[in-house]
Amino acid sequence: MSDRRAGGCLCGAVRFSARLPEMEIEACHCGQCQRWTGGGPLLAVKVENLEMTGEAAFSTYRASTWGERVFCGTCGSTLFWRMQGEPAGYVCVGLLDDQSGLAVKREIFVDHRPGWLPHWEDASQSTEAEQMDILSAYLKEQEK
Amino acid sequence: MITKTGQCLCGAVKFEAELKDATFGACHCGMCRRWTGGPMHAKDAEKLTVTAGQEALNSYNSSDWADRVSCGTCGSSLWYHLKKPEMFIVAVGTFDDQSDMVMASEIFIDHKPGGYAFAGDLKQMTEAEVMAAFAPPEGAR
């Protein structure tokens, strides 16, 4: 299933449209995402053929040696996390003008989920150790 | 009263918040969803003191009655600032210790997308109910 959707930040400085290759929301419970979103989890959807306007408003913050967090410098809206030097592969679901049909199907860094947040019944569960294994393999592949 | 220390992701902004209790609410309104990327989880503070990084605060005026404060360095969503009566509704994900926090309510429930829901016995309010509960009395507008 695929679909093209539009979205933007709160003040409208950043607008985009993208193809959604799947209708799944990924929820990240890592401590960095919790601080960044002010609660979390970071709810994100995979995007392809992303077309964005207003990139002059981007502010970026690097909390790790591999990742980059992009937000609107005007209104502070959380936009996306991406690998450094790469285009965004995911955007925050809250930015979409229309979120219909999307559902949380994957939870990652589940060992960092706060006690107040129950897990989603039909979402896959992955721990920090499992995610770091995936990341290490990816980074090793990039070095080749 | 509970005292919570907290900070943004990069640590530029640090604060201390006094809370009446450990319950908090989720807001599903469209503005919160664009701002935080999902629902906003926040607690109204009896008192909020910025202990470091006042100069790093980025304030965005999102309506006539409130602005939204984030860290200008890392973009962390920090708090919703209601102007009158002045109130600071602080994002619980920025607390150093969330272990005792309990989600108790959801507001703007009629704006919640279908793709996620929070389990548990939560008090729910629609946009109309929130507006009726918090609107100033006739004549005071």
C-beta separation of A125 from A29 below 8 A: no
Does the global pTM surpass 0.90? yes
Which residues on B lie below 8 Å from A118 (Cβ)? Answer: 118-120
Contact list in A for residue B42 (CB cut-off 8 A) is: 38-39
Please check whether residue A37 touches B, CB under 8 A: yes
State whether residue B13 sits within 8 Å of chain A by CB.
Answer: no
A30-34, B49-53, B112-116: which range is least confident on average?
B112-116
Q: How far is CA A23 from CA A5, A15, B70, in A?
A: 11, 20, 30
Measured between its terminal Cα atoms, the distance across chain A in Å is: 33
For residue A62, give Cα distances in angstroms to A53, A67, A137, B111. 22, 6, 21, 32
Tell me the backbone φ, ψ of residue A46, rounded to 5 degrees.
-70, 140
Contact A92 B37 (CB under 8 A): yes
Task: Inform me whether the C-beta atom of residue A117 falls under 8 Å from chain B C-beta atoms.
Answer: yes
**Cα separation, B47 vs B67, whole angstroms:** 17
pLDDT score for B139: 54
Backbone dihedral region of A80: left (phi > 0), alpha (psi from -120 to 50 degrees) or beta? beta
Any CB–CB contact under 8 A between A28 and chain B? no
Nearest to B75 among A40, A41, A69 (CB): A69
pLDDT of amino acid B121: 85
What ipTM was predicted for this assembly? 0.92
Per-residue model confidence (pLDDT) at position B141: 44
Q: Give the one of B10, B60, B114 whose C-beta lies nearest to A75's C-beta.
A: B60
Residue A144, min C-alpha distance to chain B (Å): 31
CB spacing of A36 vs B39 below 8 angstroms = no
Amino acid type, A116: W
10-residue stretch averages of pLDDT, chain A, 144 residues long: 85 97 96 95 96 96 94 97 94 96 96 92 94 92 84
Touching B: A residues 39-78, CB under 8 Å: 39-44, 59, 61, 63, 69-78
Average pLDDT over residues B127-132: 94
Retrieve residue A91's tokens. Answer: 């955007």
Burial class (CB in 10 A: 0-12, 13-18, 19+), A11: buried
Confidence class for position B106, pLDDT limits 50, 70, 90? very high
| Residue B53 three-state SS | coil
